[in-house]
């Protein structure tokens, strides 16, 4: 028996063990997603109704805004947010490119974005505009924890390394979301996401969910 054959025989049990561990993680992760999403949507429903009403009364347009984002393996998903900007805000972004605080990346972030409404600034600071995405967690398009789903126009500019973010299901929160959000440069966001993909586990997910709570209440990097 040659060395290659011995190596293959020795690796097979380890491979099966790692596969079972990965499968157990995915099942546990999905169970956590469903449980948290069901409870959160049930508890938050009256609050969301109030926010929807305030948004409709304070600025023209629908309360719920849908974007196209890129999900697992490049699949396009319909992505809901509570509208925090004026109508047709996406069409105005080209006029603001010179003021981009992420000027060295494919993302657009502006601390004093004139498109944001007064109520929109409040709901963005505390991530209230992201709450409808719990529905996508329930349906399976998102997870509670994972790289944030990017806009289509951003992904079209990704290099090979950045495309690795698409290898796992996107999420509501991630390492850079609890580390400064918009204050984190895009290149560093990518490295943090890749680190998560490499080390992810149910314990890591729970830790990030716990860290998300103070990150949301402080509003650091949310703009």
Q: Is residue 13 included in any domain, yes or no?
A: no
pLDDT tens, residue by residue, 33-69: 999 999 999 999 999 999 999 999 998 889 998 999 9
Q: For residues 103 and 98, what is the distance between their CA atoms, to the nearest angstrom?
A: 8
CB 205 within 8 A of CB 144: yes
85 - beta bridge partners?
116
Q: Is residue 114 included in any domain, yes or no?
A: yes
Q: Is residue 155 included in any domain, yes or no?
A: yes
pLDDT tens, residue by residue, 174-213: 999 999 887 888 999 999 999 999 999 999 999 999 999 9
Q: Is residue 122 included in any domain, yes or no?
A: yes
> Which domain covers residue 72, as residue numbers?
30-218
């Amino acid at each position: 028996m040659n060395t290659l054959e011995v190596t293959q025989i020795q690796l097979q049990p380890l491979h099966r063990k790692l596969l079972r561990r990965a499968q157990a993680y995915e099942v546990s992760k999905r169970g956590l997603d469903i449980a948290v999403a069901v409870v959160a949507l049930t508890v938050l429903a009256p609050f969301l109704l109030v926010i929807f009403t305030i948004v409709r009364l304070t600025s023209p347009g629908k309360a719920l805004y849908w974007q196209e984002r890129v999900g697992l393996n490049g699949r396009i998903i319909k992505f809901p947010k509570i509208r925090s900007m004026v109508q047709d805000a996406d069409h105005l972004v080209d006029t603001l490119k010179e003021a981009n605080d992420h000027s060295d990346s494919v993302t657009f972030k502006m601390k004093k974005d004139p498109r944001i409404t007064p109520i929109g600034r409040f709901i963005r600071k505390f991530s209230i505009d992201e709450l409808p995405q719990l529905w996508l967690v329930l349906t399976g398009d998102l997870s509670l924890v994972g790289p944030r789903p990017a806009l289509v126009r951003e992904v079209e500019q990704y290099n090979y390394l950045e495309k690795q973010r698409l290898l796992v299901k996107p999420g509501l929160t991630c390492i850079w979301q609890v580390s400064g959000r918009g204050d984190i440069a895009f290149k560093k966001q990518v490295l943090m996401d890749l680190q998560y993909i490499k080390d992810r586990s149910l314990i890591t997910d729970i830790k990030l969910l716990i860290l998300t709570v103070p990150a949301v209440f402080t509003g650091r990097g949310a703009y």
